[in-house]
Structures are given as C-alpha cells and as structure tokens.
Structure 1
Amino acid sequence: MTIFFLIPYCKVIKIKKLGDSSTSFSDLCYNLSMKKLLLSIILISLVGIVTPVFASEIEDDYLDIASNYCVMGDYNKAMEYLDKILSINPNNKQVQDLKKGLTHVISKDKKSFVEAVNPQVKQAQEYKRIGDEQMELSALTSATQGENGYLAYYYLGNFYRLKHDYQKAIDSYNSAVSLRPDFAQAFLASAIVLYDIGKFDSVINPIDKYLSLNPNDDLAYAVKSRAEFSLGMLDESKSDNDKAIELNDCPEYRFDKAKILYKEGNYTESKKLFTELLSDIQTSKIYEYMGLCDIAKQDYMSALMNIDKAIILSDDDEYLENKYNEIKEILENNNEKDVQE
C-alpha cells in the first residue's frame, strides 16, 4: 500500500508505509538532498572564490545576503541582490556565474550546471541512464582524479548507497569533504546513510558539522533528532525536533514529536497528536502507536480497534498479531471478572 506523504519544504512524494524497511530514510530525503547539493556546489564553488580587487564592501555585503537567501530557499530574493551587485559592477564575473548557476537550480536544469563543474560526472549520469553500471562506476572513479573531484566522490557515494554498499558510500562522502572541507552536502549524506544502517551514535558528528555550515536546515535537525531518539537521548531529541518544526512544521516532524511524547510516557498528548496526523498519514505505524497509547491508558477496547487497523495496513506483522491477541485476552478476562461479580 502507498500513501502521499509530505517531506520538508512541503514537497509531496509517494512512499510506502511509514516504517516499512524497504523505504529508507535516505530515499525519502534524496530529492531534497539533490537540491541542497546543487546549492552547495554553487555557493562553495563561486562564493568562496576571492572577489576581484575592484569589488566594493557593498558588493561583499550583497553577496552575503544573496548567499543567505539561497540557503533559506528564497531564490528570487537572492537574484535581486545579485542583480544589485551587477548594477554596481557589471563586470563581476563571479556573480555572473553564480546567477547562471542559480538560474539552473530554479529552472531544474540540473545537468547543465553539474556538467560545467565536472563533465565526467555528467558522463557517468548518462551511463546510469542507459543502465550501464560498470561504465558509470568507471566514469565516476576517473572523475575523482580530475578538477572538482569532491563532486565525483559525492556521486560515487550515491552510487554505492543505491547498491547497499554502505561502507564504500560513507568512505566516498568522507573523501569528498577531504577534498572540500566546506562541502556540507557530503556531511548530510553521510549522516543519513549512518542513520539508515543503525549507526546512530556515529550520526551526530557529521550532522553537527553540516549544521555548522547550514545552521537553519530543518532536515538536519530532524535527522539528528531521530538518531538521538534511537539512542534514548529524549531531551536532546525533543529539542532538535522542536527546532525542525520551528523551521518547517510538516507532518513528518510532528509524527516524530508524537513518538517522543509516547516514549516520555505522555500518552494522552501523544495519541492526540497521532490522531491529528491521520488526515495526512494513514499507515500501520500510526495506528500501532495509537494502540500502544491506549494500552498504556488501559483503554483496551480502543487499543484493540487501533491495533486491528494497524494489522490491516501491515504486511503480516507477527508482532501486531501477538499484540492483538494479548489485548483480546485482557478484554476476555475483564469480561469474566464482570460476570463473576
């Protein structure tokens, strides 16, 4: 069964049941990550270049403002400030290139910008398109030795991630930041893979490095919160989840908040939030949590109904079947006691 689910920036994608092992966290984040990647390439490749000697302090200020708007996703505002720079200095080549790159992102013309930064990566993507994995790998490996090799290592990490060779994926992302320490996207990609393979304690370091470069990224706070939740660090998880929601109040993050409330023992507020999310999320997992909240509150009839709904939406989940039978037995025992009294 599939649903439509909102991910950061209110982007709607079609996914399998939340919590389904075949739908990894990295897959849910992939499209958003690619957009962040392009912005990272543009910003670190162009903004980081030393500005010409004739650049004024006002130009520098405008460039900083444009960069901040890029990070926030307000590309039209960024364009306004780039135009202001060019009105002062029409010969500012760096700003001309930055504007061209940002135009590619806005128009979703991803290939042309990637090709300009590292043509061999573009060639590798063509091999990927026709399904020639051997030539794709060969092209990416070769591209790591050329100009802007950090970008090739990033795509090489994505290649290995899709092949479920997670250690090689992480090694590739690490190589990317070795070549370009301010290439934030590789830190985020590494953290997401580490989360997916259950190395939750290893997630914190790369995600903190990413946040030091992009302090207002809701997705990063969500990744960090999930890792902390899995480590039992509930206070930290709640704090980072609050930051993610403050930056982007979407159903995915509120689902995480409801889980934290359940883990804290706040079953009433947890179930209330899960119930509010039903208009956006119809999955086995949400009904399972609602049923667990009911069990904790000893509302066994409601628990039975919610676990039953979870079973209907699940794929023969033995745990849910056992939980259903446990609740049913409790209700039967309670009925027997009532009859005896």
Structure 2
Amino acid sequence: MKSTKSNNYVSIFKYLMLVPIVLVLVSIIIGAIFNFNLDYDFRKISNFTVKFNTTVTESDYKTLEQGIDKIISDNDISDYRLERVGKGAQNGVFVRIANDCDKLDDKIESIKATIEETLISSVESIESDVVVSTSDTGFSLPKNVTKMIWLSVLTFACILLFVFAYMWIRFNLMAGCSLISTLAIEVVTLLAAIICFRIPLNTYFVVPFVVMILTTVIYSTIMNNYIKNTLSNEKYDKVTNSERVAETTKRFLLPLGIVSLFIVVAIMIVMFFGGASLIYLGLAIIVGLIIAYLASLYVNTSFWALTYKRDKDTVLKRRIEQAKIKEEQRKAGQKPDDKVVV
C-alpha cells in the first residue's frame, strides 16, 4: 500500500454525499407537487372482464387486446392495465382502471358499452368466432399503507440494532457505527430515488429495502474481513486508514461488481416475464442494488476511515497480544493455550 494522492479517495467522500442530498431535495419538490406514485394496491381500482365466450388464438388475442386498448385510450383514460384471464371458452381480458374518488364511473360504463358494440368491427379480421360481453363493474379498495410503513420503520430499527451489535462484536465499534450510518443514508437515498423516478409503491415496497440492506451487510462484512486482517498485521502498522480502505476498495471493486451485475441481469429476466407491478418492483430492487454496491465500497469505508482510531482499539490490542503469546509458545515448543482466543 503506497501513500499516493490517487489512493486517498476518502477526500472524494464529501462530493459523493452530494448525490443523496440532491436526490432528497429533488424528491421533496416532486413529492410536494405530485405526492407518492402509488401502485394499484394503494388506490381505488374499478375493474371488469371482457369475455370472448370462445377459445381464441394467440394472434386473435393480441388483435382484440389492441382493440380494447384503443377504445379505452380514446376515452382519455391513461392509467389502466389489461391482463389475460380464463382458459378455453372462458378466455377474456381483465381490465383495471384507476378510479380515485369515483370520478370515472360513468365513463367506465360507457367504455363497456362501446367494447360490446364495436370491438369486433373496429379490429382487423379475426379467425375465432368471438361473442363479446362484459361483466359487472367491480372495485378494490386501497390497502392501509400507513400501518405497513410503521411496521417497516420498526423492523428497520430492529435490523439496525442487530447489525450494529454484529459488526461491533465481529470487527470493532467504528465498523458498527459506520455501517448503520451507511444503511440510514441508503434508505433515505433509495426512497428519494423512488420518488424522483416515479416508481410506484406497491405492497412489496419493503423488498427493495431488504435486498439493499442485506447486500450492504454482506459486502461490508467481506470488506471488513480484509481490513481486519491488515489491522492485525505488523506489515501495515504505518498505513493510514485512507490507504487501507483504498486498497480494500480496489481489491473488491470488480468482484462485487460482477456479483451485482449477475443479480441485476437475473432480475431483468424475471421482469421480462412479469406484469406491471413486478416490473416496478424489479426496477426498485435494481436501484437498491446499485446504491448498496456504491455505498459499501465508498460510503461505509469512508465513514470508517474518518472515525476509526487504531491506537484506541482495545479489542484489536488484545487480539494482537494474544496472537503474540501463541506465537511465543509455538517458538518455545510449548503447546499453545487453548483459552487464548485470537
């Protein structure tokens, strides 16, 4: 480890922290103007089924879906989703329309009538003998998001406490403090990113945060193991914290990046075969993984480098002394004391 200006990357820390600050400020402005972009789980949704009353081919299915889509969009409705339902003669399309405050009740009934009367004539010729009908209009009420948020906050606080204790016992006090500070920044950053990018929140909104936290804990543990070994090695006694974490980051930048990339690709494959809600969830998870990767490499290590004092680490001193005792016993031909823990 050489002391060079390029290695002293901790000095970049203050610039890196501008990212979450800017995101938070932008998210506050966007949130104040547009509020949260809630998915259908947290909104009132009107729904009905367009029944074909026969088995339709794949090409006919696509043609009929396009016709339904055009009829709905022609009625100045943009927030809706179409899902295929049924099998065989029960084939159809399930239509869900965001209907906050029941503003679209009359328009939805008009759309249903238009679909029944004009769908077949408005599309290109189809092979299947389709008889279009629509079901009665139903609705789903929004779920209680406040309760879920409070439970998530309580769970996050418990996770922080556990992670702090784990990192303190396994490594040192500053490792625990650095990680919980990093996790707090990550949660705020991910929430701000979700608001800025207008990613809808659904009932699984906690999953991206859980994935991000677990990824950060795993990555940080791997990196702290390497740092711990250098702290106990006399070869690195004169190395500064900045140089120590710079070397650690350089060592794990590519391996952890490859792991993260594989996870992102796997999520994108799943998103490709999923519906709208799954796509939104996948996007949030990917953003969380990117935040976890960068924060583990730079934010967490920078916090540690700025706060850790090697000469005040009593746990490290005991470990070094115990290691010396075992080494002296080995050189003297004595059996090392099993009670000595390194």
TM tier relative to shorter chain: under 0.3
Question: What TM-score results when the alignment is normalised by the length of structure 1?
Answer: 0.26
Considering fraction of residues, name the structure with more helix. Answer: 1
Q: Between Structure 1 and Structure 2, whose CA radius of gyration is higher?
A: 2
TM-score (norm 2): 0.26
